[in-house]
């Protein structure tokens, strides 16, 4: 069997796992075509968001590249091949949550092949998804947030853009996909509000504070014109993006991930302990710590269910426990 060898050093951090994936062989054309056809079908049938489709693509391509065409490729994969890949992922520390998502993608992939008569069986049929513990969102302390926001060099156009993005994410509690996909028309500086289209195409209005408005105005007046260099900015999906690169294109989620990690290191924060969503989690946690109403927070975050928002009360409770242990004479 021609899969990737298992004698690699064990990956212990997300960065090491990303390097493992980058080192895998190139995706074969047959596997690439099968994955593309599946994603097109899922998009047409379910209308999944771009972020979900990208996650499915990475999951399926990772397995296909690890298998490297063994036993006829992804469409002919057998149960022992799935188990071998799951074992490799477990050895290198992938989370139960990401493994559950991988299995969900595989089940849909093989179910489609069975419906088309291209397979008579589903190799994932008897596999159980790993139990996912209720992990708490990881927020950054208020002092560390201030250091992170101050890290970009605002004397440059890119630095102004990055400062405005970080300020806006913390001020509005945006998802990463919402931030990088913001249209220029969604921001109303005069009224101090942002119109956001979130999951399920639900719109919400989010108020902005003076600090974020200040940096957004500076970016629009000084940074964005320099990045555009006097050229028209291309409209993606019919909308002109608010945040652009020097190529006048919207930033990708991966590019935002990279800048957050870079500025975390500059601010003296361990980059492995921060993620692109950290400012969204910090937005929610800090509001609750300062007495915000849970239902108001639900509206600001764009959650369809209050139960999703309630997990932040557990984060706030853990914060109070920590303060008690640290400062109470019998803590």
- Domain tally for the chain? 2
Residue 155 falls within a domain, yes or no?
yes
Task: Tally Cβ neighbours within 10 Å of residue 117.
Answer: 7
Active site residues: 175, 199, 277, 280, 303, 312
- HSE-up of 264 (CA within 13 Å, CB side)? 19
SS3 of the chain: helix, strand, coil, percent, to 5? 60, 5, 35
Closest alpha carbon to 31 in 72, 2, 91: 72
pLDDT digits (tens, 9 = 90+) for 42-76: 888 887 777 888 989 999 999 999 998 887 889 99
Distance between terminal CA atoms of the chain?
A: 58
Residue 50 falls within a domain, yes or no?
yes
CATH code of the domain covering residue 20: 1.10.150
CATH code of the domain covering residue 320: 1.10.443.10
pLDDT digits (tens, 9 = 90+) for 79-119: 888 888 988 888 888 888 888 889 999 999 999 999 999 99
**Residue 251 pLDDT > 50, yes or no?**
yes
This prediction has a pTM of 0.59
Q: Are residues 101 and 160 in the same domain?
A: no
Residue 53 falls within a domain, yes or no?
yes
Q: Are residues 148 and 242 in the same domain?
A: yes
Handedness of CA 104, 106, 110, 113 (dihedral sign): positive
DSSP letter for each residue of 2-29: -PPPS-SPPP-SHHHHHHHHHTSPPPPH
Q: Are residues 149 and 111 in the same domain?
A: no
What is the C-alpha to C-alpha distance for residues 10 and 13, in angstroms, rounded to an integer?
A: 9
Contacts of residue 261, defined as CB under 8 A and 6 or more positions apart, other chains included, come to 271, 274
Residue 6 falls within a domain, yes or no?
no
Q: Are residues 187 and 42 in the same domain?
A: no
Residue 127 falls within a domain, yes or no?
no
**Residue 9 pLDDT > 90, yes or no?**
no
Residue 172 structural domain = 142-327
| Both tokens assigned to 76 | 């002919």
Q: Are residues 154 and 106 in the same domain?
A: no
Q: Are residues 292 and 173 in the same domain?
A: yes
Q: Are residues 93 and 147 in the same domain?
A: no
pLDDT band at 268; cut points 50, 70, 90: very high
């Amino acid at each position: 069997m021609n899969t990737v060898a298992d004698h690699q050093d064990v990956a212990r951090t997300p960065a090491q796992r990303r390097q493992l994936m980058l080192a895998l062989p190139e995706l074969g054309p047959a596997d690439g075509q099968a994955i593309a056809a599946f994603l097109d079908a899922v998009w047409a049938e379910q209308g999944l968001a771009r972020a979900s489709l990208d996650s499915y693509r990475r999951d399926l391509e990772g397995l296909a590249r690890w298998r490297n065409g063994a036993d006829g490729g992804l469409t002919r994969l057998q149960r022992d091949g799935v188990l071998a890949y799951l074992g490799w992922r477990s050895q290198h520390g992938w989370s139960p949550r990401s493994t559950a998502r991988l299995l969900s993608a595989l089940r849909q992939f093989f179910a489609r092949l069975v419906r088309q008569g291209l397979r008579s069986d589903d190799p994932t049929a008897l596999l159980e998804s790993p139990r996912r513990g209720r992990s708490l969102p990881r927020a950054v302390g208020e002092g560390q947030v201030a250091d992170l926001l101050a890290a970009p060099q605002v004397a440059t156009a890119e630095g102004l853009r990055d400062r405005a993005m970080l300020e806006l994410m913390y001020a509005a509690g945006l998802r990463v996909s919402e931030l990088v996909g913001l249209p220029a028309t969604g921001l109303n500086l005069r009224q101090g509000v942002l119109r956001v289209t979130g999951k399920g195409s639900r719109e919400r209005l989010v108020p902005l504070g003076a600090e974020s408005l200040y940096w957004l105005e500076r970016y629009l007046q000084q940074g964005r014109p320099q990045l555009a260099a006097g050229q028209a900015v291309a409209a993606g999906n019919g909308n002109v993006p608010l945040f652009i690169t020097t190529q006048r294109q919207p930033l990708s989620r991966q590019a935002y991930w990279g800048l957050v990690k870079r500025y975390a290191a500059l601010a003296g924060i361990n980059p492995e302990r921060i993620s692109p969503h950290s400012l969204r989690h910090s937005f929610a946690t800090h509001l609750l710590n300062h007495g915000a109403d849970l239902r108001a927070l639900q509206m600001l975050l764009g959650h369809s269910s209050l139960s999703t928002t309630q997990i932040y009360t557990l984060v706030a409770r853990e914060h109070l426990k920590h303060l008690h242990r640290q400062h109470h004479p019998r803590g």
